[in-house]
């Protein structure tokens, strides 16, 4: 298992994480079996947004005596009222749910305290300027949570969070289907067939911008909806008209700037093994780019997705990394010293480009790489 830094939190998380939602379907023994399998395969981060009491108890029992090896992403505002889940900002109910979470999970702190499910800009403004954020910051001061996070499906709200200076990391929905869609406050839109009708030009600009802002500001991203609810696994349900594999979906998410870990929902130990096979997969097995470029609908023409198909460069330039650093740099009036240093520390960079264009023949999206190398040379 490989591990990545989660923004500026100081935490190192496994590339593959455990999204707990499907554990609601299982009893105590089955939950322990799945979590034990995660541990054996090096997974060290789990997300529990569910407020249903039994699943919290079952997870707590499964990690009993091993709390310190887990980075827990727990949600603030996900409550269980009258026998059902209810998202709320009413602090008395929020505190009751948090106390229940800590008791059932058998811990006295949460590593990542997530402000739960904020998809509307007006609600975000109300949260950060009101008593809710003050409450969450108070939890951090008391050590009940170690870092402040937020979950959202809306890139416009995620951008507000990343630029707020208050939110340290974001749980965000990332997959190649959702990434084509503009910002929306309606979660159902991302799953609607009608949303994918028409012509798309690849990743929506606001999503590209979000990933770069998070990278620039040290706001780490953990990923939800990495498989788009499984719709990407079938050509009949995929908006591209072709199927992707779990490994390809994971590679897509993990090649976005600022992404540290993908929270995968596991219904069995076989699902765990399927996801962690990413860690030993070949480049051909990870290759989402060729699939998308050859899809009958919605190819990412002319857009660098940092997929790495351009390699190997005869001058040994890490072209994908140069492109990523260039894209991060052009967002700002001046190239930040940290970006410039990272660029200059590369063993080869755009200054070494011979302009041979051999990389362009391999790019599945038809990116004019030699031109981008010249632009990067001028910029840096």
First to last CA, the chain: 34
Q: What percent of the chain has pLDDT over 90?
A: 80
Mean residue pLDDT of the chain comes to: 94
Distance CA 201, CA 89 (A): 38
Most confident of 179-183, 202-206, 240-244, 278-282: 278-282
Amino acid 231: pLDDT: 87
SS3 (DSSP) at 308: coil
SS3 content of the chain, % helix, strand, coil (to 5): 45, 15, 40
DSSP per-residue codes, 18-69: EEGGGGGGS-HHHHHHHHHHHHHTT--EEEE----HHHHHHHHHHTTT-GGG
pLDDT in tens, 321-339: 999 899 888 878 888 888 8
The token duo for 110 is 């949460």
Distance CA 137, CA 148 (A): 8
CA angle 50, 52, 55 (to 5 degrees): 80
Residue 52: count of CB within 10 angstroms of its CB: 16
Distance CA 192, CA 176 (A): 15
- Name residues whose C-beta falls within 8 Å of residue 41's C-beta, 6 or more positions apart in sequence: 1, 16, 272, 273, 276
pLDDT in tens, 273-321: 999 999 999 999 999 999 988 887 656 778 888 888 899 999 999 999 9
SS3 (DSSP) at 285: helix
Amino acid 158: pLDDT: 98
Amino acid 298: pLDDT: 58
**Using 50, 70 and 90 to split pLDDT, how confident is the model at 195?**
confident
Q: Range with the lowest mean pLDDT among 4-8, 21-25, 133-137, 170-174?
A: 21-25
Higher pLDDT, 343 or 297: 343
Q: Range with the lowest mean pLDDT among 72-81, 164-173, 199-208, 253-262?
A: 199-208
pLDDT in tens, 220-242: 999 999 999 888 999 988 988 89
Residue 17 per-residue DSSP state: E
Examine residue 16 and say whether the peptide bond preceding it is cis (omega within 30 degrees of 0).
no
Higher pLDDT, 219 or 304: 219
Q: What percent of the chain has pLDDT over 70?
A: 99
The Cα-based distances of 255 to 136, 212, 289, 332 in angstroms read 31, 12, 11, 22
Distance CA 311, CA 306 (A): 11
Amino acid 199: pLDDT: 65
* Residue in this structure with the two tokens 């991302």, named with its chain if needed: 190
Give the number of residues written for the chain. Answer: 380
The pLDDT of residue 94 is above 70: yes
């Amino acid at each position: 298992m490989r591990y990545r830094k989660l923004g500026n939190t100081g935490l190192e998380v496994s590339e593959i994480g455990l999204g707990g939602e499907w554990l609601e379907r299982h009893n105590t023994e089955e939950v322990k079996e799945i979590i034990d399998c995660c541990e054996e395969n090096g997974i060290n981060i789990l997300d529990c947004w569910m407020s249903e009491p039994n699943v919290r108890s079952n997870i707590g029992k499964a990690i009993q005596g091993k709390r310190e090896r887990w980075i827990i992403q727990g949600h603030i505002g996900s409550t269980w009222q009258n026998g059902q889940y209810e998202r709320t900002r009413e602090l008395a109910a929020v505190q009751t749910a948090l106390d229940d979470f800590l008791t059932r999970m058998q811990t006295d702190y949460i590593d990542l305290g997530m402000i739960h499910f904020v998809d509307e800009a007006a609600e975000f403004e109300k949260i950060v300027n009101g008593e809710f954020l003050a409450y969450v910051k108070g939890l951090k001061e008391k050590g009940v949570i170690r870092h402040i996070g937020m979950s959202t499906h809306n890139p416009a709200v995620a951008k507000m969070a990343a630029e707020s200076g208050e939110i340290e990391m974001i749980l965000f929905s990332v997959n190649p289907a959702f990434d084509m869609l503009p910002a929306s406050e309606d979660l159902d839109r991302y799953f609607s067939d009608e949303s994918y009708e028409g012509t798309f030009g690849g990743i929506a600009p606001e999503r590209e911008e979000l990933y770069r802002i998070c990278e620039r500001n040290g706001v780490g991203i953990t990923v939800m909806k990495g498989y788009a609810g499984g719709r990407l696994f079938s050509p009949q349900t995929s908006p591209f008209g072709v199927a992707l594999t779990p490994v390809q979906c994971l590679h897509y998410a993990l090649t976005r700037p600022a992404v540290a870990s993908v929270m995968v929902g596991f219904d069995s130990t076989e699902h765990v093994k399927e996801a962690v096979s990413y860690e030993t997969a070949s480049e051909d097995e990870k290759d989402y780019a060729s699939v998308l470029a050859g899809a009958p609908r919605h190819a990412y023409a002319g857009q660098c997705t940092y997929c790495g198909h351009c390699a190997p460069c005869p001058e040994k330039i890490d072209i994908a990394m140069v492109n990523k650093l260039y894209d991060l740099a052009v967002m700002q009036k001046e190239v930040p010293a940290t970006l410039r240093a990272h660029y200059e520390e590369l063993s080869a960079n755009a200054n070494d480009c011979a302009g041979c264009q051999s990389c362009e023949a391999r790019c599945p999206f038809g990116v004019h790489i030699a031109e981008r190398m010249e632009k990067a040379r001028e910029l840096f």
